[in-house]
Amino acid sequence: MRKYQRLARFVAATACGLLAPAGAGQSQAGNGRAPLPTATVLPFTVSAEPQPGAAPRPDQDGLLRLLGREATLQAGRTLTEHGIAGQVTQAPGPVGRAAPVVVTGSIRLPVSLPPGISAFDADKRHGTFATGTATFTRPDGTVVATETIRLGWGAVSWVYGGRPKRIAPLEAVLEDFSRKAADRAVLAAAREMGR
């Protein structure tokens, strides 16, 4: 009998969770703590990690700026979607005392690959492809939490489609890596901060 009562409570709780209005469950962070009232995300920086034998890209500076924008947007989404901060603002540079926590980050990844690496075997390679660091600071510059994560070559998909599979454009793969690195680094730093 108890077994069925627990099952009934579980089904009822699940149904209530599915029917709750969007954002209703975001009043507390994932660990039950109240979210930060506000957080400000400063632009994430993305830098190129040289690969032996890879030719330099003529559009590298523009690509790095694009990847930085993607990472910054993802950091803001991660803070709100995981209930880490109630309100997130983005600022182009240093901020005053408007937010109790300022989030900064950096990502390092290759932006061009050697000719011997194809997209069909890239996700099978071992080792680190990208690193991401997120830092939570107070407006006075005191570091509250900082965390660095590493993503392997197979952390995102290099191909798409069913049969036949198609190679994803390298820019799209790099955008995926930038977003994932920002997401994982922000979550790791938030956990270190106790959120």
CATH number of the domain at 59, please.
3.30.160
Record the pTM.
0.80
Indicate the SS3 state at residue 192: helix
Q: Which of 33-37, 61-65, 132-136 bottoms out in mean pLDDT, i.e. has the lowest?
A: 33-37
User: Would you say how long the chain is, in residues?
Assistant: 195
74-98 pLDDT per residue, tens: 999 999 999 999 999 988 876 666 6
pLDDT, residue 39, reads: 92
Work out the number of other CB atoms within 10 angstroms of the CB of residue 78. Answer: 23
The domain tally of the chain equals 1
At 66, phi and psi to the nearest 5? -60, -45
Q: Does some domain include residue 131?
A: yes
Distance CA 174, CA 48 (A): 11
Domain residues for 121?
Answer: 28-192
Q: Does some domain include residue 89?
A: yes
Q: Does some domain include residue 10?
A: no
Q: Tell me how far CA of residue 186 lies from CA of 9, 37, 79, 130, in angstroms.
A: 34, 17, 8, 15
| DSSP H or E segment with residue 37 | strand 36-41
Work out the number of other CB atoms within 10 angstroms of the CB of residue 79. Answer: 28
Q: Does some domain include residue 3?
A: no
Q: Does some domain include residue 20?
A: no
Q: Does some domain include residue 2?
A: no
Residue 118 DSSP code: -
Mean pLDDT of 173-189: 97
96-141 pLDDT per residue, tens: 666 689 999 999 999 998 888 877 788 788 899 999 999 999 888 8
Distance CA 149, CA 183 (A): 10
Partner residues linked to 134 by β-bridges: 105, 147
Q: Tell me how far CA of residue 176 lies from CA of 149, 169, 192, in angstroms.
A: 15, 11, 24
Q: Does some domain include residue 21?
A: no
161, two tokens: 């489609």
Distance CA 161, CA 135 (A): 36
Indicate the SS3 state at residue 66: helix
Q: What is the pLDDT confidence band of residue 72, given thresholds at 50, 70 and 90?
A: very high
Q: Does some domain include residue 32?
A: yes
